[in-house]
Structure 1
């Protein structure tokens, strides 16, 4: 197909706690420069909380910075050395700058070829499930290998990644203690596999965890909140427990002495998805498993809402207000 010289993108041109730096505007369309590059025309792209970290300056970014981390679409150009993809292939992939009509991916390591028969509804689910699904899937295997009977403390249990965590933990026979800010969210977490429920606005999290675990504490905590929950999470862990910190929803965890981990021999991790799927075979393994779980109906991906690309500001406000459940995606203009 013919690729236009300019395209519509969603970018930030400054750093701010607010939304005024988010712009929907024309931007140069990428072109193939090296032999291993791939250009994809995007159809749907997922909204992730991490976008706010770039906007607020928590994570560094070279401005102007095109947002986005995952998408589904069609291959429209490939470099001379690309052998596993061809123009016209439907794909699901992870890369930067996906809030755009066209995205250039440095190589095919994190591009997964989909069957030609993949439907529009499947594309929506894959766009909604890639990063959050792969995050939960790799974390319950590699950050901490969840075993039957484990007690698991899970924050943001009704968010996009939280609902997937709930389902995977149930498949493994774990006792999930779900934390969320409303009873409605907790009900959704329970529907997806949570066994015990804690309302973060009404309950004392530590007291409830001690009650549920008969004073032993949890085997592992998956904490995406960050600063506000660090001390509580540390107290909720059992001896030789594992603290998986993977988000900054309330801000980064302040520096602390490592000796804080010694009294209970706590293992602390700060993993990121890409550390587990850096190689092509790793990405393919987990993506095949994820898509199989979605297609078989064993894993339900809850779509909260589909926004137009130009309406990302509203999507950002919605996800950052913590009023959403499940996943938000953007439809990219064709």
Structure 2
């Protein structure tokens, strides 16, 4: 048996329940992992609230790190006793232990702690696909990144700096803006006190940026289009303020033949070899010192509802982890 956080209906943080569930043995292509630390991400809130519907009842959580206890037939990249981490479907990471598909579970280098891994797998591989798999980016290019002081944002700021990319961030307080700058943002705009669209245009001498990376959603979508150069790329990869409402695709032509995509990490990591390569790229960035992981909040697993409330209210910075 393992303590596991589940939901039986969609709703607010109060629907999260900590229960005992049987774990069982791994079947072909599966592993059993004992978790040490679990990660917290906005996708967990989207799933809990029903924005991303799940079959119910459902174990929750998409990211964790721990030790492999058993492997099923056909699993060759992991063995019992290995340290490992993942960000992967299906949900179930908010638990002491689980059985899950092995393909997206990654061996963990000795110099990466369980806490670092649980705080960075989903966020770090998200940044990897944003900068390397979505649209070509190279040194000298410019990016507008919303929520630059959050867990994904802090990694993105460092990633951009390490590759010579100008990153203009936005954040909701002066303190968060300074945090983004400290992590490598070239500029950061307080969207509560400044006209961030005008500021972006001014900082780019009226040209706009090559790419917008936006996980905020409804509140920033329309303005983000106005910050792009002609032929620029809008990457909408999250919905922290709510989903982007329907819009007239003709607007993209009017604003400069813009491009738009709505990617998800789980499409990019669906292939085993690609997932492992993305994780290795992330680990290499960490080993070189290009990226460090800031863990600003820690909660016991039993207090997961409080952790989600803090994340949903945008009261957190950096990464948040759940201690098993």
Normalization by structure 1: what TM-score? 0.93
Corresponding residue for 2:166? 175
Corresponding residue for 1:202? 193
Which whole-Å deviations, capped at 9, do the CAs of 1:281-326 have from their partners, x for residues lacking one? 2112111121122233221110012211101111111111111110
Q: Distance in 2 between matches of 1:37 and 1:225?
A: 34
Query: Which 5+ residue runs of structure 1 have no aligned equivalent?
Result: 1-5
Could you tell me which of 91, 115, 124 is aligned with 2:115? 124
Corresponding residue for 1:217? 208
Corresponding residue for 1:3? none
Could you tell me which of 250, 273, 285 is aligned with 2:265? 273
Q: Distance in 2 between matches of 1:256 and 1:30?
A: 47
- Within a 5 Å distance, the mapping from 1:105-116 to structure 2 comes to 105-106=100-101, 108-115=102-109
Which whole-Å deviations, capped at 9, do the CAs of 1:10-55 have from their partners, x for residues lacking one? 1112111x222111122222433x3221111111110001111111
Q: Distance in 2 between matches of 1:175 and 1:94?
A: 28
Query: Across the two proteins, how many residue pairs are aligned to each other?
Result: 321
Could you tell me which of 271, 274, 281 is aligned with 1:289? 281
Is the counterpart of residue 146 in structure 1 residue 137 in structure 2? yes
Corresponding residue for 2:47? 54
Q: Distance in 2 between matches of 1:309 and 1:175?
A: 38
Could you tell me which of 66, 69, 72 is aligned with 1:76? 69
Query: Which 5+ residue runs of structure 2 have no aligned equivalent?
Result: none
**Offset of residue 76 of structure 1:** 1.2
Q: Distance in 1 between matches of 2:264 and 2:180?
A: 23
Which whole-Å deviations, capped at 9, do the CAs of 1:204-238 have from their partners, x for residues lacking one? 11111111111111110001110111110111111
**Offset of residue 140 of structure 1:** 0.4
SS at match of 1:26: strand
Corresponding residue for 2:93? 98
| 8 Å contact from structure 1 (residues 93, 112) kept in 2 | yes
Corresponding residue for 1:26? 20
Corresponding residue for 1:42? 35
| 8 Å contact from structure 2 (residues 29, 103) kept in 1 | no
SS at match of 2:137: coil
| 8 Å contact from structure 1 (residues 46, 127) kept in 2 | yes
| 8 Å contact from structure 2 (residues 86, 122) kept in 1 | no
Q: Distance in 2 between matches of 1:196 and 1:81?
A: 49
Q: Distance in 1 between matches of 2:243 and 2:154?
A: 23
- Within a 5 Å distance, the mapping from 1:317-328 to structure 2 comes to 317-328=309-320
Corresponding residue for 2:150? 159
SS at match of 1:61: coil
| 8 Å contact from structure 2 (residues 159, 290) kept in 1 | no
SS at match of 2:220: helix
**Offset of residue 146 of structure 1:** 2.0
